[in-house]
């Protein structure tokens, strides 16, 4: 059986490729766990300066693997809670990993796959990408993916997506601020790697401090954000001497 996650290193960039193409890279427990382990490993590796998250085959990720749903019912409380906790851990890691992460999106990026795509620090989308949250069409709630969505998109459009299951094109994603750029079909991975390589050029300590401060000030009130910036400004004086 092939690995559900392909890990490849190109210089300072590590590429994580979801590898369940027969399932449109749907997130089952083994794949979600593999992603968490790979992100943990990268976080502790000073040779990894940036990451790219991609999907094999026709699409980026079709969301949660519904084949597991038969076992994830209220009568299996511990199993349900453990699976939800694993997904929540994955989304937390995307933010907590100190290196910048770029998603390379193509084809379908829906439900949990949509959440994974925009959970990265930056995103590149290929023309032809279809992005959305169709959970309510199946009487499910887009629960763990909603946190990033409402932080990155205007509330009216965000609610429309989760309430109606409307799908966005790559161009609409760009207009909504969900991706950094749109590229021709077949070139999302190369564009994401190029963006990651650019982010890999500064000293690791400086980039890590930048990512940490960015997320901190994005959600803090003004005074708390200024204080965090003040402390980072003082600390950065030593970065030129750092390895």
User: Which CATH number goes with the domain that contains 43?
Assistant: 3.90.226.10
Rounded alpha-carbon distances, angstroms, from residue 96 to 23, 133, 159, 219, 225: 28, 24, 26, 15, 18
* Judgement on whether residues 195 and 208 belong to the same structural domain of the protein: no
Measuring CA to CA, which residue among 240, 214, 241, 234 is closest to residue 225?
214
Indicate whether 103 and 211 sit together in one domain: no
Coil, strand or helix at 20: coil
Q: Based on the fold, state whether residues 77 and 124 are members of the same structural domain.
A: yes
**Residue 228 confidence (pLDDT):** 87
- Is there a contact between 88 and 119 (Cβ–Cβ < 8 Å)? no
pLDDT score at 71: 64
Are residues 193 and 210 both part of a single domain? no
Residue carrying the six token digits 């969505």 = 149
pTM of the model: 0.92
Answer yes or no: do 191 and 142 share one domain: yes
Q: Residue 22: its pLDDT value, please? A: 96
Task: Look up the domain containing 227 and give its range.
Answer: 204-241
| Per-residue model confidence (pLDDT) at position 161 | 97
**Structural domains counted in the chain:** 2
Residues 185 and 226 in one domain: no
Of 113, 124, 130, the closest CA to residue 180 belongs to 124
Q: For residue 103, give both structure tokens.
A: 């998603």
241 is catalytic: no
Q: Which helix (H) or strand (E) holds 151?
A: helix 146-152
CA dist 59 and 110 (Å) reads 10
Task: Tell whether 221 and 105 lie within a shared domain.
Answer: no
Same domain, residue pair 216 and 155: no
Do 221 and 170 sit in the same domain of this protein?
Answer: no
How far is it, in rounded angstroms, from Cα 141 to Cα 75? Answer: 19
Per-residue model confidence (pLDDT) at position 77: 54
Instruction: Give residue 112's Cα distance to chain centre.
Output: 10
Beta bridge partners of 110: 132
What are the structure tokens assigned to 34, written together?
């593999």
Residues 145 and 34 reside in one and the same domain: yes
Complete edge-to-edge strand list for the sheet that includes strand 101-105: 5-10, 13-18, 50-55, 101-105, 122-126, 181-183
On whether both 210 and 227 belong to a single domain, the answer is yes
Which regions in the chain score pLDDT beneath 50? 1
Give pLDDT, residue 80.
Answer: 78
Six token digits for residue 209:
């401090």
3-class state of residue 109 by DSSP:
strand
Q: Which of 135, 160, 185, 243 is catalytic?
A: 135
Question: Is the domain of 115 the same as that of 227?
Answer: no
């Amino acid at each position: 059986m092939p690995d559900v996650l392909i890990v490849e290193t190109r210089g300072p960039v590590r590429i994580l490729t979801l590898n369940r193409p027969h399932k449109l890279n749907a997130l089952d427990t083994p794949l979600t766990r593999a992603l968490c382990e790979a992100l943990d490993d990268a976080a502790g590796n000073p040779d990894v300066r940036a990451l790219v998250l991609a999907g094999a085959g026709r699409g980026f990720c079709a969301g949660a693997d519904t084949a597991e749903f038969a076992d994830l019912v209220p009568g299996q409380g511990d199993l349900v809670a453990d699976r939800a906790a694993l997904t929540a851990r994955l989304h937390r890691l995307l933010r907590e990993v100190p290196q910048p992460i770029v998603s390379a999106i193509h084809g379908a990026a829906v439900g949990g796959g949509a959440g994974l795509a925009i959970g990265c620090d930056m995103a590149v989308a290929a023309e032809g990408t279809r992005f959305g949250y169709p959970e309510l069409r199946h009487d499910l709630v887009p629960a763990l993916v909603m946190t990033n969505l409402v932080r990155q998109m205007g509330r009216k459009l965000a609610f429309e997506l989760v309430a109606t299951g409307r799908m966005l094109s790559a161009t609409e994603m760009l207009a909504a601020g969900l991706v950094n750029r749109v590229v021709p079909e077949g070139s999302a991975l190369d564009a994401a790697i190029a963006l990651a390589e650019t982010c890999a050029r500064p000293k690791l300590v400086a980039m890590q401090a930048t990512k940490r401060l960015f997320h901190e000030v994005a959600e803090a009130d003004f005074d708390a954000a200024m204080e965090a910036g003040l402390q980072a400004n003082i600390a950065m004086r030593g970065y030129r001497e750092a390895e």
